[in-house]
Chain A
């Protein structure tokens, strides 16, 4: 029912993947934060806006495999790849 502007490109991924699997133009819904992570770190990531159920979009990545910028909860947050890999999202239409 949502009037999502469909891009011409089909989503390449479906299912639950780490954030690092997202590329330019991809969006997803946060599924879970790696439970093996230190609890305080998990909590912090959530309070930054990376909560289960929130929509997240890939924005850009720094040159030479640097940090990645995501848009979530109306803000742009950047994470290093190591942290981004700990957050898992559900992608696909």
Chain B
């Protein structure tokens, strides 16, 4: 087939002789584009952002016949005419490149063969750019199963571009596709641009498909049957909540043994390090700082992996759009849309996946609003703090009706997290709402499909890797920093003896070191800020520790309370019970009164302490503006809520 391109409108890098040819994949979401991309690039793909915007970018390299081809997986789209700033970026990229990224040399349109009558509309827009174009039809097995058919060759003749058919998830036709890519210079466009008027365009599509022997597939009976149950007004909602319940069960209950295993393992390693490393500073660094930090990250991993697995599975099967469909009304009450619920849901495990999940939202204002709200959800890092403080606040055995008092308190805290996350997002959405492009809400409900383990694996592994890389480095760095602030300088035996501390008593030594460390100095310095909330400088030191990870504050409190085992809540609680203010207007009074405990609980509920969340926000929004706003507003909110909580508690008790 001779190329009818009289000129290349925009010469890509390959034409000018520099670098490998750049092929861009264009197609609708749910169209099998990701599977094609994965097949072409294997695991040699990188995910990142386009410069300056919160649009994620997937690029990789395909090695075919000794040559390298740079494959760019453009964000799934239904049209090249942008209706949002993100889409405008993709259009710019096709036009002539964006800073740092050259324009593609060839455009490979990936179309779902079961939705060809719609997909050719996008194809028509793509060929108007007069760049070398080819078409890949996916899901051809499903097309046949549903009674449809296509004559690939005839379609190619009708369209005027090369066409190949694949079943991406089973690897069928990939060889042909790879060969097609090697011949990218021979790609072409139709001899005459398809009509721009949509009525005429529909006629063009119909004509092309008739010539291509296209038989429309029947509606998928299996999907209809399943949807009648899963989207049933009553049954569907029940099943949805059951799925949500299962989700939480999996990430909390089932992941727990693995998490304990990780903790035990690192505890054992730390013990080994303490035994075998002579130098006390180095020993402490390795066991508390390094291993503590690494362990602190890895202890999350079972939960994160479990969560991403379930999300990837639900998405691959096609249930996610159903869930978003069911949730849309509720979400819209908070100014968001159905798809935002995934972000809110994930945040109950950890805010970091929640923030990363906002990428699926097409509207950038929705993304910002959701990002600024989800850190308020009750994440699992808050749990150790809650358990300790609720244990202090509510005596064991208290009952509220048939439920345990502590259980009710925990439930209320979860509820508080969820409601405040949604409310905060709603407020942010309202505030940033001045000039909204009239972005319509639409969503495709794809047929249910059986995913391959490979595709679920890739969908699960990529974000886990990202989490480990981003959160991991931050948590490790901050843990080491906090370790340094609380441990250095190490006190010599003579000094300890002079202060009345037995150098052999490890617990007492730790407590003394901490109380006279740099962190303590900082704690004392910031005490005035937290004084109205009833926090004393030791609590402030714990707050400082929480910047690394919230549960660090629990161990910090435990160490300062001279607890033999900082993990034992009741022991720590006992120690804390004995604390009295060392100076100031309340000197001598008990610190952990119900008022203070409530205040501390509420402070943790609302403050953004997690530095990794801040770091992820910076990466997702491409700047420090929004993370700073998030940190700032949540600090103020936490302070105010803690103050109010304290005041109310004082009133009632």
Contacts and interface: CB of A to CB of B under 8 A. Distances in A.
Contacts of B125: 47
Nearest to B331: A66
Size bracket, chain B contacts: 35 or more
A77 B441 CA distance: 11
Contact of B118 (A62, A65, A73, A80): A73
A52 B200 CA distance: 10
A23 interface: no
B326 A62 contact: yes
A59 to B, nearest CB: 8
A41 B438 contact: yes
B118 A66 contact: no
Contacts of A51: 121, 198-199, 201-202
B328 A66 contact: yes
Interface in B317-356: 325-326, 328-330, 332, 338
Contacts of A75: 115, 118, 444
A12 to B, nearest CB: 22
A71 to B, nearest CB: 7
A77 B612 CA distance: 37
Given A51-B198, A51-B199, A74-B217, A45 B121 contact: no
Interface residues of A, number: 35
Contacts of A16: none
Interface in A11-69: 37-38, 40-41, 43-49, 51-54, 60, 62-67, 69
A23 to B, nearest CB: 15
Interface of B: 78-79, 81-83, 114-118, 121-122, 125, 198-199, 201-202, 216-217, 219, 227, 231, 233, 236-237, 325-326, 328-330, 332, 338, 438, 440-447
Contacts of B79: 43-44, 47
Contact of B78 (A44, A54, A67, A80): A44
B114 A66 contact: no
Contacts of A62: 231, 325-326, 328-329
23 contacts: A40-B82, A40-B83, A44-B78, A44-B440, A44-B442, A45-B440, A47-B78, A47-B79, A47-B125, A48-B78, A63-B326, A63-B329, A67-B328, A67-B329, A75-B118, A76-B446, A77-B443, A77-B444, A78-B443, A78-B444, A79-B442, A83-B441, A83-B442
A24 to B, nearest CB: 12
Nearest to A60: B231
B219 A80 contact: no
Interface of A: 37-38, 40-41, 43-49, 51-54, 60, 62-67, 69, 71-80, 82-83
Q: Which 6 A-B pairs have the closest CB atoms?
A: A66-B329, A73-B118, A47-B79, A76-B445, A49-B118, A73-B117
A54 B118 CA distance: 10
B310 to A, nearest CB: 23
A77 B227 contact: no
B115 A60 contact: no
B61 to A, nearest CB: 31
A48 B118 contact: yes
A69 B338 CA distance: 14
Contacts of B202: 51-54
B248 to A, nearest CB: 22
Given A52-B198, A64-B329, A76-B444, 14 more contacts: A40-B82, A44-B81, A47-B79, A51-B199, A64-B330, A72-B118, A76-B447, A77-B445, A78-B442, A79-B440, A79-B441, A83-B440, A83-B441, A83-B442
Contact of A71 (B219, B231, B440, B441): B219
A92 to B, nearest CB: 21
A78 B445 contact: yes
Contacts of B227: 60
A73 B28 CA distance: 14
A75 B31 CA distance: 11
Contacts of A76: 444-447
A91 to B, nearest CB: 19
A74 B115 contact: yes
Nearest to A63: B233
Contacts of B442: 44-45, 48, 77-79, 83
A66 B326 contact: yes
A63 B233 CA distance: 5
Contacts of B446: 76
A47 B122 contact: yes
B114 A74 contact: yes
Contacts of A74: 114-118, 216-217
A41 B438 CA distance: 8
Contacts of B443: 67, 77-78
Contacts of B231: 60, 62
Contacts of A64: 329-330
Contacts of A82: 440
Nearest to B143: A74
A75 B318 CA distance: 14
Nearest to B233: A63
Contacts of B447: 76
A46 B197 CA distance: 10
Given A51-B199, A52-B199, A67 B441 contact: yes
Nearest to A47: B79
Nearest to A64: B329
A56 to B, nearest CB: 12
B199 A53 contact: yes
Contacts of A40: 81-83
Contacts of B237: 63
A83 B114 CA distance: 25
A40 B82 CA distance: 7
A69 B325 contact: yes
A75 B115 CA distance: 6
A45 B118 CA distance: 11
Nearest to A78: B443
A12 B401 CA distance: 54
B71 to A, nearest CB: 24
Contacts of B441: 67, 79-80, 83
Contacts of B82: 40
Nearest to B329: A66
Given A52-B199, A53-B199, A41 B440 contact: yes
Contacts of B332: 80
Contacts of B78: 44, 47-48
Contacts of A38: 438
